[in-house]
Structure 1
Amino acid sequence: MLVQPALAQGARKTPVAPPPAPSAPRGDAVAGRELAESERCIECHGADGQGSTHDDAIEGKFPRLAGQQPDYLLKQLRDLRSGARKNDFMQVMARSIDDATAAHIVAFFAGLPPMRGDGRADANGATLYARGDATRGIPACAACHGADALGQRLADGIAPRLAGQSWRYLERQLLDWRDGFRRNSPGDAMSAAARGLSDAEILSLSHHLSGLAAGASPASSAAR
């Protein structure tokens, strides 16, 4: 199914004040479980949304989807379907998934227990995430993704959950944002946010975010 995250979903984006609770999935999770299998999402993203164990997933080609912001997942499917997000394999897969089907699949993955990361603690990554580096024009990632990196609604979109994502996937996406291979954030804000990051800083951020403790899923948060 999908492909996901990139760090700050906006270099200058500010959350709506006060930030609303994440949107609950609009589809049916039970139907979504069956559709995720028939549409072959599970082959790469796992029945538990934690990713599969084959080599491509281990190398960071496929994201973990469990507990991801549902509106973010829907946007990525639409972007893949339209070509706004480039990924040859996923563009083919997304063409067979209309919005009604996508809503059910998204409800299934978003409602699963949150993704469990494989990163290590990284103090440099934690500081860069929380504060950015104003001297180099690097914004604080937390301004858009939240202090705990659980994602949140912004004035012009949704910042995805990053906590617990595969560090290899995060690294791959940040490199793609920085190097211009991915360009589907509102106003191209993620390209601007990642442009000044070094390879070492991207690795530190990726490990820090992947290693964050799991929190509540958007679906369970919205239900409380």
Structure 2
Amino acid sequence: MRKALSAIAVLALASGHVATVLAEGSPDAGKQKSAVCAACHGVDGNSVNPEWPSLSGQHASYIVAQLQHYQQGTRSNELMSPQAAALQAQDMADLAAYFSSQSLVPKEADPDLVSRGEQIYKGGDTDRGITACIACHGPGGQGNPLAGYPKVAGQHAAYLATQLRLYASGDRASDPNQMMRNIAGRMTENDIKAAASYMQGLR
């Protein structure tokens, strides 16, 4: 398909309300606009730096939502915030359509962490109030675009761990009803590293 709807209805994660994005995204146009993004996220959305997320195969609606958060200040990053500031809705839709259409390079989990990571991901820890990741992100880590839950399968463990720490500290607050902040805040550093590594290895 030459064109794709980048988002029709997405969850605005800062408030929990549904935001409507009417722009129709073009993968071809997105590719032409992606040169600046490629410096960190890779030409095809596969980042070579584990601290920067891979965008390939991510839900277009989620990419748009995060760009909106950076633009609106509900999510902040010294590199991303100024990049998102100049984007129009059409730019976001095109970039999201392009990166979502790319194939993610699979990665492996750390064998020393995979057992604990699988336990946290699939079962959580009820004694400490840690909800299982699978509940929102699915058995294969593919997420739920209609609910605004991102694909986590194959994402860099280092990036995922950083985001969990940001949620835990409250420095990232773009989650509805503090959902991720509440969960991450109850996780130990070992839990975070293990869960992140397990998600990296999901296909």
Q: Scaled by the length of structure 1, what TM-score is found?
A: 0.77
* Contact 2:59–2:145, Cα closer than 8 Å, also in 1: no
What are the superposed Cα offsets for residues 115-140 of structure 1, whole Å, 9 maximum, x if unpaired? 42353240110111011111111101
| Matching residue of 1:88 | 78
| Matching residue of 2:129 | 137
| Matching residue of 2:43 | 47
Relative CO higher for 1 or 2, CA cutoff 8 Å, sep ≥ 6?
1
2:90 to 100, 116, 123: 100
* Contact 1:49–1:115, Cα closer than 8 Å, also in 2: no
How many equivalent pairs are there?
A: 181
| Matching residue of 2:186 | 196
* Contact 1:117–1:167, Cα closer than 8 Å, also in 2: no
Structure 1 residues 1-224: aligned runs within 5 Å: 26-37=24-35, 40-52=36-48, 57-58=49-50, 60=51, 62-121=52-111, 122-153=114-145, 157-213=147-203
Cα root mean square deviation, aligned = 1.8
* Contact 2:61–2:145, Cα closer than 8 Å, also in 1: no
What are the superposed Cα offsets for residues 68-90 of structure 1, whole Å, 9 maximum, x if unpaired? 01111110000000000011221
What are the superposed Cα offsets for residues 5-37 of structure 1, whole Å, 9 maximum, x if unpaired? xxxxx9xx9xxxxxxxxxxx9411011000111
Question: CA–CA distance in 2 between the matches of 1:82 and 1:89?
Answer: 15
| 172-181 or 119-128: bigger deviation | 119-128
Question: CA–CA distance in 2 between the matches of 1:181 and 1:207?
Answer: 22
Question: CA–CA distance in 2 between the matches of 1:66 and 1:172?
Answer: 19
Q: 1:167 to 1:129 in 2, by over 3 A?
A: same
Question: CA–CA distance in 2 between the matches of 1:115 and 1:181?
Answer: 29
What are the superposed Cα offsets for residues 43-82 of structure 1, whole Å, 9 maximum, x if unpaired? 1000121114xxxx34x1x100000011111100000000
The runs of 5 or more residues in structure 1 that have no matched partner are: 1-9, 14-24, 214-224
Q: Scaled by the length of structure 2, what TM-score is found?
A: 0.84
Question: CA–CA distance in 2 between the matches of 1:34 and 1:119?
Answer: 33
Question: CA–CA distance in 1 between the matches of 2:41 and 2:80?
Answer: 12
SS class of match (2:148): strand
2:186 counterpart letter in structure 1 = G
Question: CA–CA distance in 2 between the matches of 1:26 and 1:68?
Answer: 17
SS class of match (1:102): helix
The runs of 5 or more residues in structure 2 that have no matched partner are: 1-12, 17-22
Q: Which runs of 4+ in 1 moved over 2 A?
A: 114-121
Report the identity percentage: 30
What are the superposed Cα offsets for residues 170-191 of structure 1, whole Å, 9 maximum, x if unpaired? 1111111111111101122110
Question: CA–CA distance in 2 between the matches of 1:64 and 1:145?
Answer: 17
Question: CA–CA distance in 2 between the matches of 1:88 and 1:200?
Answer: 27
